[in-house]
Structure 1
Amino acid sequence: MVIYSTWQANRNINSLMAQYIQRYLEQDLKQGLSQFPVVAILGSRQCGKSTLAKKVIQDLGKSVYLDLEVVSDLSKLNDPEAFLRANQDKLVCLDEIQRIPEIFPLIRGLTDITRRSGQILVLGSASPELLRQTSESLAGRINFIDLTPFLISELPENSLRQHWLRGGYPDSFLAPSDAVSWRWRGNMIRTYLEQDVPNFGFTISTQTLQHLWMMLAHTSGQLLNTAKLADSLGVSRTTITFYIDILEKTYMVRVLRPLFTNLKKRLVKSPKVYLRDTGLMHHLLNIEDQNTLLGHPSYGGSWETYALEQICSTLGYSWKPAFYRTSNGAEIDLVLEKGMRRIAVEFKASTAPKATRGLHHAMQDLDITEAYLVAPLPEETTYPYREGVTVTTVVQLPALIEPSPQSD
C-alpha cells in the first residue's frame, strides 16, 4: 500500500483550505488514462472528483472539461458525436455523467475507431450498477476508480479527531469552524434527498428515505433488521431493501455481508449496514461537537463506522471484507480476505482496548492467527496485545497488513 501525502506533521489544518491535497488515487488515475480509452471516477457528490480530475487534466495538458450540470456546457453536447469528433485529439472530461448516460454507446463507437488510451474521462455520482450502460456498452474499454471523501491517510498528523467528527467531505473537513462544517453537512443531506435522488430517476418518498437514513445512523454497524425498520416506517420490507440499495449505490452506506464458511456452526446471515461518512452520520444524530460525541450512546458505533470505512477504502478491492458472528457469541467485526490469507479486525473505542472471549473463539473457528484491535490512539501507536493480536490505529493498520515496497 502506498500513501501519498504532501503535508508536514502538525501543520495547521485550516492552512490547507486554499491548497490542493494530493489524493492517494491520483497515480492510479494517471495510470488508468495511460492504459484505457475511458476512465470513470465514481463517488458521492462533493467528495472531490472534479478537483482530482482538474488537477490531473492540468498535469496532462491538451484536454477539454465539461460540467454537465452547467447549462452552457451541457448544450455543447446537443450533437455529442460532432463534439467528440471535433475533440478526438484531446482528453475529454465529462463531469456528472449520470445526466446523459445515453452517451455511452456513442463513446464506445468513437473510442473503437481511434483505439488510443486516455480519450474520455467521466465523473459520476452513482455506482456502475446505476450507470448501467457503462457496463453494457464499455466492457473491456473502461477503468473504474472509486473515490471517497478524504481518508485519514491523506491528511496531516493529528487530524483524526476532527476527521472523525466532521467526516471526510472536503468542504466539511476544511471548514473554518465546527459550526460552518455543521451547516454544510445539513445542506448536503438536504440536497441529496431533494435533488440528487430524484435526478437519478427514483420516484420515492424523500421523507421516508430521510427517516430511514436517520435510523441507519442510530444503528450503524448493527445487524440489519428490515422487519423492524419496515414496522417503524410503515412500509414494506421490500421498500426498506430498495431504499438501502439506493443509499448503497449512491455511496451513502456500506453493506457489509457475513462471511460464509463450510463450518458446521449456526452463522448470522443478516448483513450489517454502515454509514460511509461519520460527518453525515453525526449530523443525522445531532452530534455537533467532540464533547457531545464523547458522551453519546452511539460513540462506540461511530468509531466502528469511522474505522471500518477508513480501512476498507484504503485497502480497496484487493481485500474482500466481511464479518463473522455465530449464534453462540463468537464474533469478529471485520474479516479481511486476500487469497489464502485471512485477518481479523476488532474496533474498540477505548484508549485501553481489550480482546473479548468472542474474538478468541472466532479466531479458533476460522483458524486465524493474525488479529488487530483498532482504537482511537495516537497515530503511530502499535504494540502487541498477546500472541497473534496487535493493538494499532486506522493509520497504521493498512501498512501492517500490506506493507509498501518502500518499507521492505
Structure 2
Amino acid sequence: MQHIHRTLAETLKSVSTVFSVVLVTGPRQVGKTTLLRDCAEPGRSYVSLDDLDQRTLAQTDPALFLQLHKPPLIIDEVQYAPQLFSVIKSLVDQTQTRGQYWLTGSQKFHLMHGISETLAGRIAILDLIGLSQAERDDRAADQAPFTPTRGWLEAARTKTSSSAVMDVYRTIWTGSFPAIALNPDMPRDIFYSSYIQTYIQRDVRDLTRVGNEIAFARFLRAVAARTGQLINYADMARDVDVDQKTIKAWLSILETSGLVFMLQPYHNNITNRLVKTPKLYFLDTGLCAYLTQWSTPEALEAGAMSGAILETYMMAEILKSYWNRGKAGHFYFYRDRDQKEIDLIISQDGMLYPIEFKKTMTPSLGASKNFAALEALKQPVGDGCVLCLKDADIPLSKSVWAIPVGYL
C-alpha cells in the first residue's frame, strides 16, 4: 500500500516540544497509529490496549503498567484504561520532560472527562480524520488552511488535482480511510461492512451501552441520508423508531467520535432572525455512500444525493485543511427566516468569508447573491467564493471567485 505523509505529522512534532503528553483522536482506521509510529524517534516504545492482557494490566495496576512501559512511549487505544491518566500526571509532573507520552484514542467522548480532570495543561489534543485530497496529491505541506483570499488562491493554483466530475465522485464514493483510499484492490463493500460491524457497533456498544443495535444501525443510515441538511430530531426519531432524546445522545456519540460534524448557524446580537438549528455532515463520504447504498460512483453522481454528498466532501476537505495543522477554525452557516442561505462562513480575525458549494461547471454571480445578507450583521466581510467543478478559477465579481474543488 502506498505511503502518504500526513500533514498532522509536523503539528505532532511541534506540540511535543511544548507538552508532556499528546493525544491523537479520531475514528478507527484513519491512520493514528501509523502517524505516531512514522513520527517516533529511535527508542520510543509502543504498546496497544487492544491487547487484552495489556489492557487488563493498565486497568488493574496502572502504576505497574507504566513502570514496565517507560517513556518515551506510544499507548494505542488509551480510552480502554482511563485509570492511566492520574499516574501519567504524576510521572510527567516529576520529570517535566516534553513529549514523554503519545496517546491515541478512537472514542474522544469517553476520554475527555478523565483528561480534563487530570491532564489539563499537560496535554495537547489533536484530531485526525481520513486522508485529505491534498495529502493524496502530496501538496498538503505547501498549502495553508483554506480561506477564499487572493493569497490562498494564488498558492493553490500552482498545485491542483482534477476537478473532472467523475474523478471527484470516484474519490467521494471510495472515501478517505487509508486502507481503502490507497489500495485499489480492497473490496469496498466488504471493507465498509466490516468497519461498521467491527468498529462502530462494537465500540459504541462497549463504551456507551447502546442496547438496541438494530435501531442504531438504522440510525447510522438515517444520519448518512441527511448529510448536508439541517438536523430534524423529530423526523429522524420517527425513521429510527426511538425517541428524540436517544437521537440526540447517539448524534453526540458520532460527533465526538469524529464520524460526523455539526456545523453551527452563525449568530450575533444584531439580529434574532437567524435559524438556530445546526447542519449535519458525515465526515467520510465513502462510508456515507455505502450506508445510503450507492453501488457505483456513476450512480452516486446521477442520484438524489449528488449535490449533498459533493457539499459534504467539500466541507470535510476544508475541515481537514485546518485540523491537520492543529487549528480549530471557526465555521458557520447562515440561514435567516427569509430563506436566504450561505453554505459556509469562515470567521477569521474579525472577518467573515462567505462560501457557496455548487455542483456546476459554469457558476454565475447569482450563485453568491445571498452574500449581501451579511451586511445586516455589521461585521467586515472579506472575499467570498463559489466552490464548484470548474477546471480553473475565475472571478465572478470584484470580491467573489469561482474556485475548483480540486484546489482544496
TM-score category, normalised to shorter length:
0.7 to 0.9
Would the aligned equivalents of 2:27 and 2:259 in 1 still touch at CA under 8 Å?
yes
Q: Does 1:332 align with 2:339?
A: no
Query: Structure 1 residue 327: deviation in Å?
Result: 1.1
Partners of 2:63 and 2:328 in 1: how far apart?
37
Partners of 1:206 and 1:246 in 2: how far apart?
14
Would the aligned equivalents of 2:5 and 2:135 in 1 still touch at CA under 8 Å?
yes
Partners of 2:264 and 2:202 in 1: how far apart?
30
Partners of 1:262 and 1:131 in 2: how far apart?
31
Change (3 A) 1:74 1:168: same
Q: Which residue of 2 aligns with 1:382?
A: 393
Partners of 2:237 and 2:328 in 1: how far apart?
35
Query: Structure 1 residue 85: deviation in Å?
Result: 3.5
Residue identity opposite 2:396 in structure 1? Y
Change (3 A) 1:315 1:193: closer
Q: Which residue of 2 aligns with 1:67?
A: 48
Query: Structure 1 residue 377: deviation in Å?
Result: 3.6
Of 172, 187, 191, 1:184 maps to 191
Q: Does 1:163 align with 2:171?
A: yes
Q: Does 1:36 align with 2:46?
A: no
Query: Structure 1 residue 160: deviation in Å?
Result: 4.1
Q: Does 1:100 align with 2:107?
A: no
Q: Which residue of 2 aligns with 1:13?
A: none
Report the 3-state secondary structure (helix = DSSP H, G, I; strand = E; otherwise coil) of the residue aligned with 1:200. helix
Partners of 1:301 and 1:249 in 2: how far apart?
22
Q: Which residue of 1 aligns with 2:203?
A: 196
Partners of 1:86 and 1:231 in 2: how far apart?
52
Unaligned runs of 5+ in 1: 1-16, 398-408
Report the 3-state secondary structure (helix = DSSP H, G, I; strand = E; otherwise coil) of the residue aligned with 1:101. coil
Q: Which residue of 2 aligns with 1:362?
A: 373
Query: What is the root-mean-square deviation in Å for CA atoms of aligned residues?
Result: 2.0
Q: Which residue of 2 aligns with 1:341?
A: 351
Q: In the TM superposition, what whole-angstrom CA distance separates every residue of 1:316-368 from its partner, at most 9, and x where no partner exists?
A: 33520011001112211011111211101110111222343652442433453
Report the 3-state secondary structure (helix = DSSP H, G, I; strand = E; otherwise coil) of the residue aligned with 2:261. strand
| TM score, norm. by length of structure 2 | 0.86
Count of paired positions: 374
Query: Structure 1 residue 108: deviation in Å?
Result: 0.4
Partners of 1:125 and 1:311 in 2: how far apart?
22
Partners of 2:87 and 2:222 in 1: how far apart?
42
Query: Structure 1 residue 87: deviation in Å?
Result: 4.7
Would the aligned equivalents of 1:152 and 1:160 in 2 still touch at CA under 8 Å?
no
Partners of 1:82 and 1:254 in 2: how far apart?
38
Partners of 2:176 and 2:318 in 1: how far apart?
14
Q: Which residue of 2 aligns with 1:238?
A: 245
Of 52, 58, 64, 1:82 maps to 64
Partners of 2:69 and 2:193 in 1: how far apart?
40
Partners of 1:116 and 1:300 in 2: how far apart?
50
Partners of 1:29 and 1:394 in 2: how far apart?
27
Query: Structure 1 residue 209: deviation in Å?
Result: 1.8
Would the aligned equivalents of 1:42 and 1:146 in 2 still touch at CA under 8 Å?
yes
Change (3 A) 1:349 1:357: closer
Q: Does 1:147 align with 2:100?
A: no
Residue identity opposite 2:135 in structure 1? E
Partners of 1:124 and 1:180 in 2: how far apart?
27
Query: Structure 1 residue 128: deviation in Å?
Result: 5.6
Partners of 2:209 and 2:314 in 1: how far apart?
31
Partners of 2:103 and 2:212 in 1: how far apart?
30
Q: Does 1:305 align with 2:286?
A: no
Report the 3-state secondary structure (helix = DSSP H, G, I; strand = E; otherwise coil) of the residue aligned with 2:345. strand
Query: Structure 1 residue 202: deviation in Å?
Result: 2.4
Of 313-322 and 131-140, deviating more is: 313-322
Q: Does 1:49 align with 2:57?
A: no
Report the 3-state secondary structure (helix = DSSP H, G, I; strand = E; otherwise coil) of the residue aligned with 1:242. helix
Q: In the TM superposition, what whole-angstrom CA distance separates every residue of 1:238-295 from its partner, at most 9, and x where no partner exists?
A: 1111111111111111111110122335211111111011000000111122211111
Residue identity opposite 1:308 in structure 2? M
Partners of 2:272 and 2:368 in 1: how far apart?
17
Partners of 2:201 and 2:388 in 1: how far apart?
37
Change (3 A) 1:121 1:208: same
Q: Which residue of 2 aligns with 1:219?
A: 226
Higher relative contact order (CA 8 A, sep 6+): 2
Q: Does 1:289 align with 2:289?
A: no
Unaligned runs of 5+ in 2: 138-160
Would the aligned equivalents of 2:169 and 2:298 in 1 still touch at CA under 8 Å?
no
Would the aligned equivalents of 1:255 and 1:273 in 2 still touch at CA under 8 Å?
yes
Query: Structure 1 residue 75: deviation in Å?
Result: 5.6
| TM score, norm. by length of structure 1 | 0.86
Change (3 A) 1:357 1:287: same
Would the aligned equivalents of 1:25 and 1:147 in 2 still touch at CA under 8 Å?
yes
Change (3 A) 1:260 1:360: closer
